[in-house]
Structure 1
Amino acid sequence: MMDQNRVPILEGLEKIRRNRLVPFDVPGHKRGKGNPELTQFLGEACLSVDVNSMKPLDNLCHPVSVIKEAEALAAEAFGAANAFFMVGGTTSAVQSMILSTVKRGDKIILPRNVHQSVIHALVLCGAVPVYINPQTDKRLGIALGMSMTDVKNTIAAHPEAKAILVNNPTYYGICSDLRSIVEVAHAAGLLVLADEAHGTHFYFGKDMPISAMKAGADMAAVSMHKSGGSLTQSSLLLCGSNVNENYVRKMINLTQTTSGSYLLLSSLDISRRNLALRGVEIFEKVKRFSEYAREEINAIGDYYAYSKELINGDSVYDFDTTKLSVNTLKLGLAGIEVYDLLRDEYEIQIEFGDLGNILAYISVGDKNKNIERLISALSEIRRLYKRENIKLWESEYISPVVAMSPQDAFYADKVSLPLEQCAGRICAEFVMCYPPGIPILAPGECVTKELIGYIQYAKEKGCTLTGPESMDVTSLNVLKGE
């Protein structure tokens, strides 16, 4: 057992600060002295440890001392064989996980409601996705988890597949039967990868859905900066005992910066210690906040803050009760409209709003008065803005038709056409609402009239659409001559 009270990177940084080294290295602000406005904004304590890799502080690309020890402490805390500190967000962790597992022409099984980073990785490496289109909840209009029947049938139909990826959980808190997926996949010789961007707390909370490492998955990308409390853009890549850690490190170094931020690295180290020592207490508080808010919001009327009642033993095997996901359709308002009202009229910033739902991210940083303010605002929005439920788009997910691999389509000869003229063509770029960043269209998928209508509706309701070269999403890149 390692001493989880230790914070090796923080200890190294504090030693450097005490020694008062004279910097003749980068960054050029020289501990903040060269940029007083930045120092005033961020603080001298912050700028004094915004330093470059040096022998006493180790090197993220090839760690041998304090970073190596910090990663070992994280691996033990998360129940993994190895942990890698990532400073490019969970996007970099997801992409490194996939690049370490599949190459051009290899097949990887995954649900279509994946984050854009997954399909971006396929563009980079040339692997071919085999999608399992998730079941949907018609009342909520959201995609659910992976059905075990679909998983088994897909593995049987594609015996040459190398890996399967699972969302654990989805943005809305839906969990698949990860342990059973691992058993079936391993029996067929597949590696199991988990996108746990929203599942850090599964490793430390009590009575939580199962974590990827405990379920026996081979790799997991974990967003420490979400529910784990570290700085934005800091993340972890966890690996099981049968994964070649040296090869994974080599793949990480293909895309991750050689100038790792010690602000991000130290935040991972400090947050790991906090979770290892106090995680159960922290997430019990988060669950209490979430459950109280859920009960109060459901008592308002018309809103539906959903929870474990969705569990069906298959496509919803478990539910993350820390997620305050709320359906707004009975209110006559799209989720994005409630999102905008909360921010613009009540000065409350929630995580996201889509076409039928909102998500308020609750963490240990919340206070009772903030929870009450959110509940009161939602009650007042219902009183002031409720309208007849007409012309609302009721499904958040449309199953795509895949015509070719993302890499082939992304790099193919293409032409830009007005959006309304793209029906029947093959898309050559991404279109997504952000957040959550799940592609509406990805390269290699067929553009349909339904998808065009969805995009136009999302624009009309105020969703932030990203991905296309056309910044206002009035046109789309499609393959030439299709």
Structure 2
Amino acid sequence: MSQEKAPIYEALEQFRRMRIVPFDVPGHKHGRGNPELVNLLGSQCVSIDVNSMKPLDNLCHPVSVIKEAEQLAAEAFGAAGAFLMVGGTTSSVQTMILTCCKKGDKIILPRNVHRSVINALVLCGATPIYVNPDVDNRLGISLGMKLEQVEKAIQENPDAVAVFVNNPTYYGICSNLREIVKLAHDRNMKVLVDEAHGTHFYFGEGFPVNAMDAGADMASVSMHKSGGSLTQSSFLLIGKNMHPGYVRQIINLTQTTSASYLLLSSLDISRRNLALRGKESFQRVAELAEYARTEINRIGGYYAFGNELINQDSIYDFDPTKLSVHTLEIGLAGIEVYDILRDDYDIQIEFGDIGNMLAYLSIGDRKQEVERLVSALADIKRRYQKDKTGMLTQEYLSPQVVMTPQESFYSEKESLPVEKTEGRICGEFVMCYPPGIPILAPGEKITGQIIEYILYAKDKGCSMTGPEDEKIENLNVVKGE
């Protein structure tokens, strides 16, 4: 197949030229019924915001241009099959778990997963077997899964149906994916990989191994992050041992029947761009990130970490495009630097937590923007540096799992002030977003350390999400437990 083709985009362009009179949805009728929408997005955009029809195929059951686009994606990513996803990588992750797990099944996974993983466990009723990752005590961040930890979990839970792996973590850290796949497959377990931040692993040299090359069974690839497509668009990749028809049925349980052709065409075009130009594009990104790390570390106080962390175990590899920066040595939490950059310097970075910040670099970045970021960080150090005494350092807190996520989420609950929940079982999620890794998940015991962390993160200005109480003053806990 020719990777120069973009069948969905080409079909939309042909549709636009036909000047079809619309008596279907969407109701804005190519923008005529909503001029403010046209002013915002432009006539070219709204004119191809259309409904599924025979010439444009149907995402629920593709037979023509969408099917061809998925075949091109599978070839570009080296997968046996690919699915265009319009519910974000959240929907891809949930499909992976719902495909492999049902109520009562066990799945082995690290605890520092995105909330979408635990959401899927709430839906299907599977039991998580957590491999608690090591923590880098200096940086306060969770690392990858050690092989010995994975092997131990597999030996103790031979009836588990799957192993779930982050590749990479938000901070760029990778586990030994090839060996984890071998361990799991030797016990007939599927391997599911969250590659939300690893699209570029499929294009170029010098990157950690991607899931398909490592032999994984399914992988969720967030094209809208480093791949350049529109927000909310993603690919789900499958290996040769997965049944594509069944996977499609699982996707259709939760994914919309009114897929946006803006998202679909952006996936199509972005796949073509990466297939044709991805190798050189991501080489430039890696070089830009290395330049940024060098310049930030010259400032002093900050620590932009990279592949010097690799230990061939809990940090088996590192994503060279990640610009993760430890900020505590200048007396500021990552979220405080995040806020200052936005409010004082008009620079929006990806996220800040209590010890680190992440500036997301990808194919759209240029050296001049990186130099502006470096200059701002130097100025922030000069203006705002203070003593770090009394600042929390730990990002990851090992959970005490008491109930399954499904059992606790659907149990009878009561609402209590956060400060009075110690010793109780949480019935909802609490997390900073981004990155969306739960501090607390349904079924976990609330400890004094967790309460301290929640209150501290709120005080520092982290964006807290998850609880029913939007002010995060109360938590829902399992009644009577």
Please indicate the TM-score interval, normalised by the length of the shorter structure. Answer: over 0.9
Number of the residue aligned with 1:446: 445
Q: Deviations over 1:258-294 (max 9, x none)?
A: 0000000000000000000001110011011100000
Number of the residue aligned with 2:469: 470
Number of the residue aligned with 2:10: 11
Number of the residue aligned with 2:277: 278
Number of the residue aligned with 1:223: 222
Number of the residue aligned with 1:304: 303
Residue type of the alignment partner of 2:8:
I
Q: How many percent identity over aligned positions?
A: 68
Shift of the alpha carbon at 1:205? 2.1
Number of the residue aligned with 1:240: 239
Local SS of the residue matching 1:165: strand
Q: What is the distance in 2 between the residues matched to 1:196 and 1:364? A: 17
Q: What is the distance in 2 between the residues matched to 1:331 and 1:218? A: 44
Q: Deviations over 1:131-174 (max 9, x none)?
A: 00000000000000000010000100000000000000000000
Number of the residue aligned with 1:69: 68
Residue type of the alignment partner of 2:361:
I
Q: What is the distance in 2 between the residues matched to 1:59 and 1:364? A: 30
Number of the residue aligned with 1:100: 99
Local SS of the residue matching 1:215: coil
4+ long deviations beyond 2 Å:
none
Number of the residue aligned with 1:129: 128
Residue type of the alignment partner of 1:392:
M
Q: Deviations over 1:172-210 (max 9, x none)?
A: 000000000000100011000000000000000211100
Local SS of the residue matching 2:225: coil
Number of the residue aligned with 1:314: 313
Q: What is the distance in 1 between the residues matched to 2:367 and 2:419? A: 48
Alignment of 1:79-478 (within 5 A): 79-478=78-477
Residue type of the alignment partner of 1:32:
G
Local SS of the residue matching 2:227: coil
Q: What is the distance in 2 between the residues matched to 1:19 and 1:40? A: 23
Shift of the alpha carbon at 1:445? 0.1
Shift of the alpha carbon at 1:391? 1.2
Q: What is the distance in 2 between the residues matched to 1:418 and 1:433? A: 19
Shift of the alpha carbon at 1:88? 0.3
Local SS of the residue matching 2:220: strand
Q: Deviations over 1:107-134 (max 9, x none)?
A: 0000000000000000000000000000
Residue type of the alignment partner of 1:202:
F
Local SS of the residue matching 2:224: coil
Q: What is the distance in 2 between the residues matched to 1:130 and 1:203? A: 29
Residue type of the alignment partner of 2:64:
S
Residue type of the alignment partner of 1:83:
A
What residue ranges of structure 2 are gaps of 5+ in the alignment?
A: none
Residue type of the alignment partner of 2:210:
S
Q: TM-score, normalised by structure 2?
A: 1.00
Shift of the alpha carbon at 1:257? 0.1
Residue type of the alignment partner of 1:467:
G
Q: What is the distance in 2 between the residues matched to 1:222 and 1:368? A: 26
Local SS of the residue matching 1:417: strand
Q: What is the distance in 2 between the residues matched to 1:97 and 1:60? A: 18
Residue type of the alignment partner of 1:414:
K
What residue ranges of structure 1 are gaps of 5+ in the alignment?
A: none
Higher mean C-alpha displacement, 226-235 vs 386-395: 386-395
Residue type of the alignment partner of 1:254:
L
Residue type of the alignment partner of 1:290:
A
Higher mean C-alpha displacement, 360-369 vs 80-89: 360-369
Q: What is the distance in 2 between the residues matched to 1:143 and 1:190? A: 25
Q: TM-score, normalised by structure 1?
A: 0.99
